[in-house]
Structure formats: structure tokens, C-alpha cells
């Protein structure tokens, strides 16, 4: 699978941060912090090949580099939870392909999921003048 780097969390320190990639398979790979809240995870229906990562909303800003709007307006899957700290939990297929993983820098406290581009596009709309991100 070919990866195209779109961007990292703008508040990144030391390079360890949530990251967004576009693929040649009409998907996005979203790298984020491993979701660990047991109460939140207990309420999710995860299949054996799925995982959940937490990302800041500003990571969606990089979707503009792939021709998509960057303002999240729908809280539907793949967003499965919105936190009080400007982050959300994203559910998707766990990325396990060794060739893909070796091209990414993933610290121990992070993981990545693959989400169809159509599912991400369904969350977004164009940003009107003066609009704010979620």
C-alpha cells in the first residue's frame, strides 16, 4: 500500500504525535494515541480486526491537502466518542501490514487505524468564513 503523508498534529512535541496519511486504496491511515479508557471502550462494538485511536480535531485540517474540507460537522462513525479536550476517538481497521508499519514512526503509546475515505468525507463540510473547528 502506498502512503502519502498529509500532516501531524500542530501541537506535536518531539515528533511523537498523531499523524494523517492518505493511501492508494481510497483510505486514510490515522495514527493516534491508543485509547485506554475502559468505560468508553466497553461501550463500543469492536470486531477482532478493529482498534480505536484518539486524535486532536486539528489533525483533520490536513485533509485539505487531499482536496477535502477540514471542518468536522457530524459525530458519526468513524468518530465514536468526543472528549472534553478537543479530541475524538476514531474506530477503524487495525493496521497490521508490516510493509506499511515500517514506513511510519509509531511510538509505544500510539497505534493506527485505516478508515475509508468516504467515511471521513461524510464527517466534513466546507468551512464558512468565521467558522470554528470542533
What are the tens digits of pLDDT across the range 1-58?
Answer: 899 999 998 776 555 689 999 999 999 999 999 999 899 999 999 999 999 999 999 9
Q: In the chain, what are the helix, strand and coil shares in percent, each to the nearest 5? A: 20, 40, 45
pLDDT tens-digit series, residues 55-109? 999 999 999 999 998 889 898 999 999 998 889 999 999 999 999 999 998 999 9
Centroid of chain to Cα 53: 7
Give me the domain span that covers residue 98: 3-125
Question: Is 132 contained in some domain?
Answer: no
Question: Is 131 contained in some domain?
Answer: no
Question: What CA–CA distance (Å, rounded) separates 29 from 95?
Answer: 8
Question: What CA–CA distance (Å, rounded) separates 72 from 88?
Answer: 11
Question: Quick check: 120 pLDDT over 90?
Answer: yes
Query: Which whole number is the average pLDDT over 122-128?
Result: 74
Question: Is 133 contained in some domain?
Answer: no
Question: Is 134 contained in some domain?
Answer: no
Q: How many domains does the chain have?
A: 1
C-alpha cell at 13: 512535541
Question: Is 85 contained in some domain?
Answer: yes
Distances (CA, A) of 96 to 3, 29, 49, 85, 102: 14, 11, 9, 29, 10
Question: Is 130 contained in some domain?
Answer: no
Amino acid at each position: 500500500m502506498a502512503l502519502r503523508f498529509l500532516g501531524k498534529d500542530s501541537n506535536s512535541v518531539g515528533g511523537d504525535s498523531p499523524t494523517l496519511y492518505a493511501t492508494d486504496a481510497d483510505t486514510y491511515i490515522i495514527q493516534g494515541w491508543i485509547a485506554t479508557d475502559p468505560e468508553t471502550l466497553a461501550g463500543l462494538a469492536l470486531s477482532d480486526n478493529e482498534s480505536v485511536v484518539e486524535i486532536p480535531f486539528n489533525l483533520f485540517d490536513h485533509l485539505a491537502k487531499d482536496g477535502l474540507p477540514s471542518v468536522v460537522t457530524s459525530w458519526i462513525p468513524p468518530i465514536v466518542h468526543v472528549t472534553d479536550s478537543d479530541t475524538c476517538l476514531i474506530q477503524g481497521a487495525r493496521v497490521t501490514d508490516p510493509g506499511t508499519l515500517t514506513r511510519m514512526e509509531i511510538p509505544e503509546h500510539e497505534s493506527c487505524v485505516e478508515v475509508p475515505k468516504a467515511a471521513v468525507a461524510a464527517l466534513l463540510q466546507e468551512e464558512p468564513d468565521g467558522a470554528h473547528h470542533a
